[in-house]
Amino acid sequence: MLKSRLAFVGVGTMGGPMALRLQAAGHDVVACDTQAAALAGLAGAGVRTVQSPAEAASQAEIVFVCLPSPAVVRDVALGVDGIAEGKAARIYVDMSTTGSDTARAVAAGLRARGIAAVDAPVSGGVAGARRGTLAIMASGDRAAYDRVLPLLRCMGKEIFFVGDKPGLAQTAKVVNNLLAATAMVASCEAVVMGVKAGLDPQALLEVINAGSGRNMATADKFPRAILPRTFDVGFRTRLMYKDVSLCLEEAEKLGVTMWVANSVRQMCGFAAAQGRPDEDFTEIIKHMERWAGVEVRGAAPRGEAAAPLPAPPGRQ
């Protein structure tokens, strides 16, 4: 793989590890972030830093971004001192989760400045970002995607190109996160009910994970973060609320009714509004525990019950 000069804007919890993966592969990476602490961490690892997205996009032909919201993505891409004002950028890769509307608007704005856009949101959490095992779904300019595919492979294990229409990957991502949120909310309610009835949570999870109720929440997040009460999966409640909301907004525009998704958004919104929107998403169970008057606590279930679900094969 040819070594490239790259820029990475947004090097926080997810973007920082991804930028370091690119640097570890031998690429020359320049980083930009509004948080001095995030930049200091990368500078300590030898990554060069700059002050604005425009400056980053003036030093690299390919610019990655990983940012927290649609508004921030639009501003970084198209705003004052944004990537569109860069002198060197020719390919923009958005690894945020911002919805299809933002992906289409940014792609159109950058296209007018001669910059091709690829939306490439990720799934796999902080651990996946650090290990380079993320699932990455991508869409947009096919030639640009083919150019950045070797770079995506530095960060992801399963890479899916879902279409050349900007925003399709964002749709795939919010659908995926809706299912992840639904599994978490429903599993928390079910396990709290079982514990209230007198079941041992470890025993109950072993039953669930050996049967048809098994999902990523019961197989991975419960044994890893809820039973030991560490609540350290690394994904914030407010971000899950944002992702579920983006899914519902798109569904409404498409004329698709989503009753269950609305209930999941209400629960995520309630949790995010309780004064701790930056808490780990697994802490959502605390509200249900409080209402039921129980606590779900214990060691990880034994044997295969604690093993994560196998990942499906991808197309690279």
Residue 76 pLDDT more than 60?
A: yes
| Average pLDDT of the segment spanning 279-306 | 82
- Measured CA to CA in angstroms, residue 52 lies from 31, 43, 75, 95, 162 at distances of 9, 15, 11, 18, 31
| Average pLDDT of the segment spanning 24-33 | 94
- Residue 46 has a pLDDT of 86
| 5-165 has CATH 3.30.110.40 classification | no
Spatial neighbors of 155 by CB under 8 A, at least 6 apart, are: 18, 21, 22, 122, 129, 132, 134, 136
The residue extents of the domains of the chain are 5-165, 171-306
pLDDT band of 234, cuts 50, 70, 90: confident
Class of domain 171-306: mainly alpha
| Average pLDDT of the segment spanning 140-150 | 96
The token pair that represents 142 in the structure block: 């096919």
Confidence (pTM): 0.88
pLDDT band of 149, cuts 50, 70, 90: very high
Residue 297 pLDDT more than 70?
A: yes
Residue 309 pLDDT more than 70?
A: no
3-state SS assignment for residue 284: helix
- Tens digit of each residue's pLDDT (9 = 90 or more) over 114-129: 999 999 999 988 889 9
Spatial neighbors of 239 by CB under 8 A, at least 6 apart, are: 68, 97, 281
Catalytic residue among 165, 173, 221, 286: 173
| Average pLDDT of the segment spanning 166-183 | 96
- Distance of alpha carbon 21 from alpha carbon 2, whole angstroms: 15
Residue 19: closest CA among 194, 160, 155, 171: 155
Residue 2 pLDDT more than 70?
A: no
- Measured CA to CA in angstroms, residue 19 lies from 47, 56, 130, 160, 247 at distances of 9, 13, 10, 20, 27
Longest dimension (CA), the chain: 65
Got the DSSP string for 145-199? HHHHHHHHHHHEEEEEEEESSTTHHHHHHHHHHHHHHHHHHHHHHHHHHHHHTT-
Amino acid at 22: L
Q: What's the whole-number average pLDDT of the chain?
A: 91
Residue 292 pLDDT more than 90?
A: yes
Residue 55 pLDDT more than 60?
A: yes
- Residue 45 has a pLDDT of 85
Residue 11 pLDDT more than 50?
A: yes
Residue 208 pLDDT more than 70?
A: yes
By the 10 Å C-beta count (0-12 exposed, 13-18 middle, 19+ buried), 33 is classed as: buried
- Residue 305 has a pLDDT of 38
| Average pLDDT of the segment spanning 251-271 | 95
- Distance of alpha carbon 43 from alpha carbon 49, whole angstroms: 7
- Distance of alpha carbon 167 from alpha carbon 190, whole angstroms: 35
Shared fold status for 5-165 and 171-306? no
Is 173 in the active site? yes
